[in-house]
Amino acid sequence: MDPILVAENINAGYGEAIIVQGVSMQVSEGEIVAIIGPNGSGKSTLIKSFLGFAKLFDGKIFYQGKNISGIASDRAVSLGIGYVPQIDNVFSNLTIAENLDMGAYHQRGKASIKARIAEMYDMFPELEVRKKGLAGNLSGGERQMLAVARALMAQPKLLFLDEPLASLSPKPATVMLSKMENIRQSGIAIVIVEQNVQKVLSISNRGYALANGTCVLEGDASSLFDGDNARQRYLGLDSHDPISD
Protein backbone atom coordinates (compact mmCIF):
# COMPACT_ATOMS: atom_id res chain seq x y z
CA MET A 1 0.00 0.00 0.00
CA ASP A 2 1.35 3.43 -0.94
CA PRO A 3 2.45 5.72 1.90
CA ILE A 4 0.30 8.78 2.46
CA LEU A 5 2.98 10.41 4.63
CA VAL A 6 6.77 10.12 4.44
CA ALA A 7 9.07 12.03 6.80
CA GLU A 8 12.82 11.97 6.22
CA ASN A 9 15.49 12.87 8.78
CA ILE A 10 13.36 15.34 10.71
CA ASN A 11 15.08 17.86 13.00
CA ALA A 12 12.45 19.94 14.78
CA GLY A 13 11.82 22.02 17.87
CA TYR A 14 10.92 25.50 19.07
CA GLY A 15 12.82 28.75 18.86
CA GLU A 16 16.47 27.74 18.58
CA ALA A 17 16.05 24.48 20.53
CA ILE A 18 16.19 21.25 18.52
CA ILE A 19 14.12 18.56 20.27
CA VAL A 20 13.64 15.94 17.53
CA GLN A 21 16.77 14.76 15.73
CA GLY A 22 17.04 12.65 12.59
CA VAL A 23 13.65 10.92 12.83
CA SER A 24 12.23 9.24 9.74
CA MET A 25 8.85 7.54 9.47
CA GLN A 26 6.05 6.75 7.09
CA VAL A 27 2.33 6.12 7.23
CA SER A 28 0.38 4.11 4.68
CA GLU A 29 -3.20 4.68 3.69
CA GLY A 30 -5.72 3.22 6.10
CA GLU A 31 -3.32 2.20 8.87
CA ILE A 32 -2.82 3.25 12.47
CA VAL A 33 0.71 4.19 13.47
CA ALA A 34 1.64 4.75 17.12
CA ILE A 35 4.36 7.11 18.32
CA ILE A 36 5.34 6.14 21.84
CA GLY A 37 8.07 6.90 24.35
CA PRO A 38 8.78 8.55 27.70
CA ASN A 39 7.63 12.06 28.58
CA GLY A 40 9.86 14.64 26.92
CA SER A 41 11.00 12.30 24.16
CA GLY A 42 9.76 14.58 21.36
CA LYS A 43 6.63 12.68 20.33
CA SER A 44 4.29 15.67 20.16
CA THR A 45 6.99 17.91 18.70
CA LEU A 46 7.46 15.45 15.86
CA ILE A 47 3.85 15.52 14.71
CA LYS A 48 3.62 19.26 15.28
CA SER A 49 6.53 19.73 12.88
CA PHE A 50 4.45 18.00 10.19
CA LEU A 51 1.66 20.52 10.74
CA GLY A 52 3.51 23.80 11.10
CA PHE A 53 3.07 24.07 14.87
CA ALA A 54 6.74 23.31 15.58
CA LYS A 55 9.80 24.58 13.74
CA LEU A 56 11.26 22.30 11.09
CA PHE A 57 15.01 22.85 11.13
CA ASP A 58 15.92 20.14 8.66
CA GLY A 59 14.42 17.18 6.82
CA LYS A 60 11.60 16.66 4.34
CA ILE A 61 7.92 15.80 4.70
CA PHE A 62 5.89 14.37 1.84
CA TYR A 63 2.10 14.06 1.88
CA GLN A 64 0.52 12.10 -0.98
CA GLY A 65 3.85 12.43 -2.78
CA LYS A 66 4.00 16.23 -2.48
CA ASN A 67 6.65 18.03 -0.46
CA ILE A 68 4.86 19.89 2.36
CA SER A 69 7.95 20.67 4.44
CA GLY A 70 7.36 23.82 6.49
CA ILE A 71 3.64 23.93 5.68
CA ALA A 72 1.53 26.59 7.38
CA SER A 73 -0.84 25.05 9.93
CA ASP A 74 -3.98 26.47 8.31
CA ARG A 75 -2.99 24.94 4.97
CA ALA A 76 -2.86 21.41 6.37
CA VAL A 77 -6.64 21.13 6.83
CA SER A 78 -7.36 22.10 3.24
CA LEU A 79 -4.96 19.37 2.07
CA GLY A 80 -6.83 16.71 4.00
CA ILE A 81 -4.78 16.54 7.19
CA GLY A 82 -6.61 16.57 10.53
CA TYR A 83 -5.20 17.23 13.98
CA VAL A 84 -6.61 16.83 17.48
CA PRO A 85 -4.41 18.39 20.20
CA GLN A 86 -4.29 16.99 23.70
CA ILE A 87 -5.91 20.02 25.36
CA ASP A 88 -8.17 22.89 24.25
CA ASN A 89 -9.55 20.67 21.49
CA VAL A 90 -13.23 21.71 21.68
CA PHE A 91 -15.10 24.98 22.07
CA SER A 92 -16.48 24.61 25.59
CA ASN A 93 -18.94 27.50 25.27
CA LEU A 94 -20.55 26.06 22.13
CA THR A 95 -22.94 23.15 21.80
CA ILE A 96 -21.91 19.81 20.36
CA ALA A 97 -23.76 20.64 17.14
CA GLU A 98 -22.05 24.02 16.90
CA ASN A 99 -18.63 22.42 17.46
CA LEU A 100 -19.25 20.04 14.58
CA ASP A 101 -20.38 22.88 12.39
CA MET A 102 -17.16 24.74 13.20
CA GLY A 103 -15.20 21.71 12.05
CA ALA A 104 -16.66 22.12 8.57
CA TYR A 105 -15.51 25.68 8.03
CA HIS A 106 -13.54 24.62 4.94
CA GLN A 107 -16.56 22.79 3.49
CA ARG A 108 -19.16 24.34 1.22
CA GLY A 109 -22.86 23.64 0.92
CA LYS A 110 -25.27 23.39 3.81
CA ALA A 111 -26.64 20.07 2.57
CA SER A 112 -23.22 18.41 2.50
CA ILE A 113 -22.34 19.76 5.96
CA LYS A 114 -25.65 18.52 7.34
CA ALA A 115 -24.98 15.09 5.83
CA ARG A 116 -21.49 15.04 7.34
CA ILE A 117 -22.86 15.89 10.77
CA ALA A 118 -25.30 12.99 10.42
CA GLU A 119 -22.36 10.71 9.65
CA MET A 120 -20.61 11.89 12.81
CA TYR A 121 -23.70 11.13 14.88
CA ASP A 122 -23.80 7.65 13.35
CA MET A 123 -20.17 7.12 14.35
CA PHE A 124 -20.57 8.81 17.74
CA PRO A 125 -24.18 8.22 18.88
CA GLU A 126 -23.10 9.32 22.36
CA LEU A 127 -22.85 12.86 20.97
CA GLU A 128 -26.20 12.94 19.19
CA VAL A 129 -28.20 12.44 22.36
CA ARG A 130 -26.51 15.54 23.81
CA LYS A 131 -26.14 17.59 20.64
CA LYS A 132 -27.85 20.65 22.11
CA GLY A 133 -25.75 20.61 25.27
CA LEU A 134 -22.61 22.65 25.82
CA ALA A 135 -19.32 20.91 25.10
CA GLY A 136 -18.01 22.19 28.41
CA ASN A 137 -20.44 19.90 30.24
CA LEU A 138 -19.19 16.71 28.58
CA SER A 139 -17.23 14.00 30.36
CA GLY A 140 -13.59 13.48 29.42
CA GLY A 141 -14.40 10.62 27.07
CA GLU A 142 -17.26 12.48 25.41
CA ARG A 143 -15.07 15.53 24.97
CA GLN A 144 -12.43 13.46 23.18
CA MET A 145 -15.11 11.96 20.94
CA LEU A 146 -16.31 15.44 20.04
CA ALA A 147 -12.75 16.64 19.34
CA VAL A 148 -12.18 13.72 16.97
CA ALA A 149 -15.60 14.13 15.34
CA ARG A 150 -14.96 17.83 14.80
CA ALA A 151 -11.66 17.02 13.08
CA LEU A 152 -13.39 14.42 10.90
CA MET A 153 -15.90 17.04 9.72
CA ALA A 154 -13.18 18.34 7.39
CA GLN A 155 -13.00 14.89 5.74
CA PRO A 156 -9.27 14.29 6.31
CA LYS A 157 -7.33 11.48 4.69
CA LEU A 158 -4.76 11.56 7.51
CA LEU A 159 -5.56 12.24 11.16
CA PHE A 160 -3.07 13.10 13.93
CA LEU A 161 -4.17 12.48 17.53
CA ASP A 162 -2.07 13.81 20.42
CA GLU A 163 -2.62 11.82 23.64
CA PRO A 164 -6.29 10.94 22.95
CA LEU A 165 -6.45 8.63 25.99
CA ALA A 166 -4.92 11.08 28.46
CA SER A 167 -6.81 11.21 31.77
CA LEU A 168 -9.44 8.73 30.59
CA SER A 169 -10.47 5.87 32.85
CA PRO A 170 -10.30 2.34 31.36
CA LYS A 171 -13.88 2.12 30.05
CA PRO A 172 -13.95 5.39 28.03
CA ALA A 173 -10.40 4.68 26.85
CA THR A 174 -11.56 1.34 25.46
CA VAL A 175 -14.50 3.06 23.75
CA MET A 176 -12.16 5.61 22.17
CA LEU A 177 -9.91 2.85 20.85
CA SER A 178 -12.92 1.18 19.26
CA LYS A 179 -13.85 4.47 17.57
CA MET A 180 -10.31 4.77 16.19
CA GLU A 181 -10.56 1.32 14.65
CA ASN A 182 -13.85 2.33 13.01
CA ILE A 183 -12.18 5.44 11.61
CA ARG A 184 -9.37 3.34 10.16
CA GLN A 185 -11.88 0.99 8.56
CA SER A 186 -13.34 4.01 6.77
CA GLY A 187 -9.97 4.42 5.01
CA ILE A 188 -8.48 7.25 7.07
CA ALA A 189 -4.86 6.85 8.19
CA ILE A 190 -4.23 7.70 11.86
CA VAL A 191 -1.07 8.69 13.70
CA ILE A 192 -1.44 8.49 17.49
CA VAL A 193 0.93 9.97 20.05
CA GLU A 194 0.15 8.16 23.27
CA GLN A 195 1.52 7.38 26.75
CA ASN A 196 -0.73 4.35 27.22
CA VAL A 197 1.57 2.05 25.29
CA GLN A 198 -0.24 -1.23 25.72
CA LYS A 199 -3.63 0.11 24.66
CA VAL A 200 -2.44 2.07 21.63
CA LEU A 201 -0.30 -0.78 20.30
CA SER A 202 -3.31 -3.11 20.60
CA ILE A 203 -5.02 -1.28 17.70
CA SER A 204 -1.95 -0.12 15.75
CA ASN A 205 -0.38 -1.62 12.67
CA ARG A 206 3.08 -0.26 13.37
CA GLY A 207 4.87 1.81 15.97
CA TYR A 208 7.83 4.13 16.48
CA ALA A 209 9.44 4.51 19.91
CA LEU A 210 11.21 7.79 20.64
CA ALA A 211 13.70 8.55 23.40
CA ASN A 212 15.64 11.80 23.83
CA GLY A 213 14.36 13.06 20.49
CA THR A 214 15.52 10.13 18.39
CA CYS A 215 13.80 7.01 17.09
CA VAL A 216 15.13 4.02 19.00
CA LEU A 217 12.68 1.32 17.86
CA GLU A 218 10.29 0.82 14.98
CA GLY A 219 8.33 -2.08 13.58
CA ASP A 220 5.07 -3.99 13.62
CA ALA A 221 3.05 -3.11 16.70
CA SER A 222 2.56 -6.75 17.66
CA SER A 223 6.30 -7.43 17.86
CA LEU A 224 7.75 -4.03 18.70
CA PHE A 225 8.99 -5.09 22.13
CA ASP A 226 9.79 -8.73 21.42
CA GLY A 227 13.26 -10.01 22.13
CA ASP A 228 15.67 -8.00 24.24
CA ASN A 229 15.08 -5.64 27.16
CA ALA A 230 14.05 -2.76 24.91
CA ARG A 231 11.07 -1.91 27.11
CA GLN A 232 13.30 -1.23 30.07
CA ARG A 233 15.99 0.61 28.15
CA TYR A 234 13.74 2.90 26.16
CA LEU A 235 10.51 3.22 28.14
CA GLY A 236 11.66 2.72 31.71
CA LEU A 237 9.58 -0.46 32.06
CA ASP A 238 10.66 -3.66 33.76
CA SER A 239 11.05 -6.40 31.17
CA HIS A 240 8.63 -8.62 33.13
CA ASP A 241 5.92 -5.98 33.50
CA PRO A 242 3.01 -5.61 31.10
CA ILE A 243 3.40 -2.69 28.72
CA SER A 244 1.55 0.28 30.20
CA ASP A 245 1.93 3.98 30.59
Please name every residue paired with 161 in a beta bridge, in sequence order, or none if there are none. Answer: 84, 192
Q: Where are the alpha helices (DSSP H) in the chain?
A: 43-51, 73-79, 96-103, 110-123, 125-128, 140-152, 170-185, 197-203, 230-235
pLDDT at position 196 over 60: yes
With a cut of 90, say whether residue 158 has pLDDT above it. Answer: yes
Average pLDDT value for residue range 73-85 = 91
Q: What integer is the mean pLDDT of 158-164?
A: 96
Confidence (pLDDT) at 242: 41
Predicted local distance difference test score (pLDDT) of residue 222: 86
Q: Is the pLDDT of residue 13 over 60?
A: yes
What residue ranges do the domains of the chain occupy?
Answer: 3-235
> Is the CATH code 3.40.50.300 the one for domain 3-235?
yes
Return mean pLDDT, the chain.
89
What local confidence, expressed as pLDDT, does residue 234 receive?
A: 55
pTM recorded for the entire structure:
0.91
